[in-house]
Amino acid sequence: MNKEALIMQIKEKAKQDENKRRDRRFLETMGFLVAKGFLKTNLEVPLLPNKRLRVDDAIWAGLNVEPRILEVLPAAVLRLKSHFDADPVAHKDLVQVVDQLRRREEIGEAFYGMPYAKIKIWADLPLCDTRVKPISKKKVAKTFRLDPFALECLKKAAQKKGCTETDILEKLLVQTQT
């Protein structure tokens, strides 16, 4: 292959890339992920923080234009599930990775060639929207059967300190660890 043919091939590929970057699926996916704080870009994309995305469109954008989308998609679906139409039957691989992230597993499945270790980082990324908590900061529900007297003491201590019963227990546990 000579130099001119190679230059022509590069220009053709750049034109295809440019057309794909104007595609609605890419613009909507990037606009949402940039608005939520998962990604940053130097491209001009409309910010769409309230957009409901099709998972198939996001996967297309990740495979054809921007691979970083595939890296953050499982964490985005986990943390902002109401914005995605993830179908457990049609998107088995995505649902599996999201479940592994939810269970905070150390080792998991790759997602479209993206290693689980890279995907896992995004589950704990602090986002612009502080209402959405990182996975490591979410509270885990536990059930304890306490003696009625102990429960009454816990309620009184919470009222006295002006906090919740859970806060009292957490403070006690932290004090015993230090």
Assessment of whether the complete model's pTM goes beyond 0.75: no
Listed by start position, the domains of the chain span: 3-136, 148-177
Ranking 8-17, 26-35, 96-105 by mean pLDDT, the lowest is 8-17
Q: Structure tokens of 30?
A: 């990037």
Q: Residue 111: helix, strand or coil by DSSP? A: strand
pLDDT in tens, 27-80: 999 999 999 988 988 888 888 888 899 999 999 999 999 899 999 999 999 988
- pLDDT, residue 95, reads 92
Residue 32: CB atoms within 10 Å: 25
Long-range CB contact pairs, 92-98, < 8 A, 24+: 94/55, 94/59, 98/74
Residue 135 has pLDDT above 80, yes or no: no
**Residue 3 backbone dihedrals phi, psi, to 5 degrees:** -60, -45
Joined together, the tokens standing for residue 143 give: 């059930």
